[in-house]
Amino acid sequence: MRPDNHDPAGRLQGAALRRALGLYLVTDRALAGERSEDAIIVAALSGGVGTVQLRGKDLSGRALMAAGTRLGALVRATPVLATTGQDRALVIVNDRVDVALSVDADGAHVGQDDLPAAAARRLLGPQRLLGVSVSSVEEARQAAADGADYLGVGPIVSTPSKPDAPHPIGLRGLQAIRAITDLPLVAIGGITVANAPQVLAAGADGLAVIAAIVAAADPAAAAHALAAAVASAGVRADTQHRGCR
């Protein structure tokens, strides 16, 4: 018998998926500089990251596959915080559904200019997760209809990590998307410890970060601070829910 936090096809769902997406690290080799990217990821996992997205737009398919294989092994060997409720972090591959399948990742994440979400859903099958980047209510509705398991919403504010990103949607844009879907929302774009509470209060279930962890002097401490913000928001939401009964 499958645990209650999986659907019949085997994908993580519900509260368990939201916890896993609570702190979502997007890798960036360039931003890591001369530091070990593997060491940054291990530190981030120890600090509370529940999902790692492999992003390597400058890598060939072969190089990305090698990186995905290495990341999968690293994640399997690295414990995560007990508060995530996971045995290990999730591994998601950005853009490349074929690579996600080849390295047995937990899923793939596609943007508006990548493989259409409906096609990605067909290729991934029922057992893997599909995330879709959206920046408008219309895109969110379409992604949900196409079979997305979660939405990457943003950019919330402009960020140098993704200079080609759409115009920032701000908290109002996030709130508008929250109002039309029950899918988990992972906010991205300029997320910091300082603005995390406002982003979570506006409807995000999770925070996707690049520079806030990868460029931090202490990635573990940075991850821990962000994870604490997510946990605090969850406690507030649960308290409010009980109070409304």
Model confidence pLDDT, tens digit, residues 182-219: 999 999 999 999 999 999 999 999 999 999 999 999 99
Answer yes or no: are the C-beta atoms of 138 and 146 closer than 8 Å: no
Q: Is the dihedral of CA 169, 175, 177, 182 positive or negative?
A: positive
Give per-residue pLDDT as tens, 79-101.
Answer: 887 767 788 999 999 999 999 99
Tokens (6 digits) for 229: 């913000």
Domain boundaries, given as residue ranges, for the chain: 14-243
pTM, two decimals, is: 0.91
- E strands, 79-182, in order: 90-94, 107-110, 129-134, 150-153
> Is residue 55 annotated as a catalytic residue, yes or no?
yes
Give the number of other Cβ atoms within 10 Å of residue 208's Cβ.
Answer: 25
Catalytic: which of 19, 128, 162, 178? 162
Burial of 197 (0-12, 13-18, 19+ CB in 10 A): middle
Catalytic: which of 11, 18, 55, 178? 55
Fold of 14-243: TIM Barrel (3.20.20)
Catalytic: which of 96, 133, 135, 178? 133
Q: What share of the chain is helix, strand, coil (3-state, %, to 5)?
A: 45, 15, 40
